[in-house]
Amino acid sequence: MQETRTRSDIHTLEAVALGATQQAALASYPWVGRHDKDAADAAATEAMRQVLADAPGRGTVVIGEGEKDEAPMLFNGETVGNGDGPDFDIAVDPLEGTSFCAKSLPGAMATIAFAEPGTLWSPGPGFYMDKIVVGPGAKGVIDLDAPPESTLDSVAKALGKKVSEMRVVVMDKPRHTDLIARLLAAGAAVHTPAEGDVGGSLEALLPTGDADLLLGIGGTPEGVMTAAAVRGLGGDMLGRLAPQRQEEADAIRAAGMDLDRIYTCDELVGGDALFAATGVTSGSLLGRPRESEGALLAESLLVSRGQVRRIAHTTFGSMPRK
């Protein structure tokens, strides 16, 4: 955003993004371990919506909750903000890892991305995307049409590693059974979280992350938000729509979209962007919200202006209650 935004605008958007993820994390935290992922997601979404509603400027939700229903969700096409500030597009997943939150497992976090108006790719009726994500060291060597063994070899060479030293993130889904088996047979270590491909992508992107690449099919909202982080961190990413039901495939074709097209990171996010996340359950990337001596503490990560910043929030008060 630095090329077309003033420094003041950038600071404003960073503050809004961090405020939105922080409040979403605090609101969903009381639902940790209560085995009600829908309630946790609703709490995070409503808290984030309240922050965005009062935000300086005007934001348009490009990647949100889909068509509006009767609940006060962040739906595609919704406009938020008070209009007194910069315009921006929004991609949002108020609670990535809803099952992690519900079951009190590591890795749940509130996430959001902002970009220049008109620069976020809209997946239309497409809900799933096949993707490859790598950090800066492997930029330019990935190919979504290549076999996974070839991808492993190319990325390993770029990183100066042996294939046996490679660590890959693939979500533990039935659709990935063959992919996981092939990666293991090739000699790589495979981390298989049940969900959370934004978090998995960050593990591959961040210098302190515990992975070398992410492969497999995840959600399109997560794909667009990941692309915002990839741009900011200088990594690389390729994605292609991967419908999981015939109805989804038919809807994509009816919308005039090409199921064979491979999208680059710059096509998914076509301008400067920022990405923010706040931890809900403790994990390798972020810690959980907690109370300490009358203060609320939360941990966030901000990717903006080509930098990664880890931010500790401290506010006075007590944890929200269910």
Neighbouring CB atoms inside 10 A of 186's CB total: 20
pTM (whole model) above 0.85: yes
Are 136 and 226 within one domain?
A: yes
Report the CATH number at residue 102: 3.30.540.10
* 2 is a domain residue: no
In 3D space, the residue among 168, 201, 244 whose CA is nearest the CA of residue 96 turns out to be 201
Report the CATH number at residue 255: 3.40.190.90
- 89, 62 in Cβ contact below 8 A? yes
* 293 is a domain residue: yes
For range 102-123, the mean pLDDT: 95
Amino acid residing at 9: D
Are 256 and 284 within one domain?
A: no
* 1 is a domain residue: no
* 147 is a domain residue: yes
* 186 is a domain residue: yes
Are 205 and 248 within one domain?
A: yes
Show the tokens assigned to 56: 């300086």
Tens of pLDDT along 182-219? 999 999 999 999 999 999 999 999 989 999 999 999 99
Are 197 and 157 within one domain?
A: yes
Relative orientation angle of helices 37-53 and 7-28, to the nearest 10 degrees: 150
State the DSSP H helix or E strand holding residue 288, giving kind and residue range, or none if neither: none
Residue range(s) defining the domain that contains residue 80: 7-118+273-316
Spatial separation of the C-alpha atoms in residues 240 and 59, rounded to whole Å = 26
Give me the phi and psi of 309, to 5 degrees please.
-125, 135
Neighbouring CB atoms inside 10 A of 178's CB total: 9
Q: What is the reported pLDDT for 2?
A: 46
* 321 is a domain residue: no
Of 59-73, 118-132, 149-163, 290-304, least confident by mean pLDDT is 59-73
> What is residue 303's three-state secondary structure?
strand
Instruction: Output the CA torsion sign for 107, 286, 66, 320.
Output: positive
Neighbouring CB atoms inside 10 A of 270's CB total: 17
Tens of pLDDT along 217-253? 999 989 999 999 999 999 999 999 999 999 999 999 9
> What is residue 247's three-state secondary structure?
helix
Are 255 and 286 within one domain?
A: no
Are 226 and 112 within one domain?
A: no
Are 209 and 257 within one domain?
A: yes
Q: What is the reported pLDDT for 3?
A: 46
Are 134 and 51 within one domain?
A: no
Spatial separation of the C-alpha atoms in residues 171 and 33, rounded to whole Å = 21
Q: What is the reported pLDDT for 322?
A: 64
* 227 is a domain residue: yes
Amino acid residing at 250: D
